[in-house]
Amino acid sequence: YRLALDVDSAGRRGRLRETVRLPAYSRASLGVSSLILAPGDSVADRETTLAAMPADLAYPAGQALSAYAEVYGVSPAGEGRARYRVRYTFRPAESLLRRLLGGANPVVFEFTRDAPWRIVLPERIVIAPGRLPPGRYRVTLSVTDIPSNVKSETVALDVTVR
């Protein structure tokens, strides 16, 4: 990849051009890309979903929310199929006092997927309006490869639904 960075700070300009080598995801181990969340009731490809993701990670309550990620390294199950379990967890962000007194339970969406095996499997869901109450959440996606019982999880996103 070629990194191109142009910076303008109070009239001072800087420029960086550099070649960057990114490691490939291993086909031998399970991995999950970053999770992308966007308002809307349809999930397109990665770039379209990423373009719709708000910079402040604030989403309107009462509107559908779409999620997109890519899963790498799922073991091929019989007959060229991939079998894996996905779990989207929206854990309420609470104060220390609220957690000590027994905070709210997370909102969880969990599915078992059975799809034609590929090196990269797109993972998509649409959360219907009203299924996620207003609040601040720490969101993760975990994927478990069923044949090998190996688990991988995304880095958490802190989002607000209002």
| Cβ atoms 71, 120 nearer than 8 A | yes
Given this model, what pLDDT does residue 120 score?
A: 93
Given this model, what pLDDT does residue 156 score?
A: 96
Given this model, what pLDDT does residue 5 score?
A: 87
Given this model, what pLDDT does residue 37 score?
A: 97
| Cβ atoms 66, 88 nearer than 8 A | no
Q: Which helix (H) or strand (E) holds 47?
A: helix 46-52
Tens-level pLDDT at each residue, the chain (162 residues): 888 888 988 888 999 999 988 776 566 689 999 999 999 998 889 999 999 999 999 999 999 999 999 999 999 988 899 999 999 999 999 766 666 776 789 999 999 999 999 999 999 999 999 999 999 999 999 999 999 999 999 999 999 999
Tokens for 73, please give them: 């390294």
Give the whole-angstrom CA distance, residue 155 versus residue 32. 9
Pairing between β-strand 157-161 and β-strand 31-32 as defined by DSSP bridges: unpaired
| Cβ atoms 62, 129 nearer than 8 A | yes
Given this model, what pLDDT does residue 10 score?
A: 87
Query: What's this model's pTM, rounded to 2 decimal places?
Result: 0.81
| Cβ atoms 144, 85 nearer than 8 A | yes
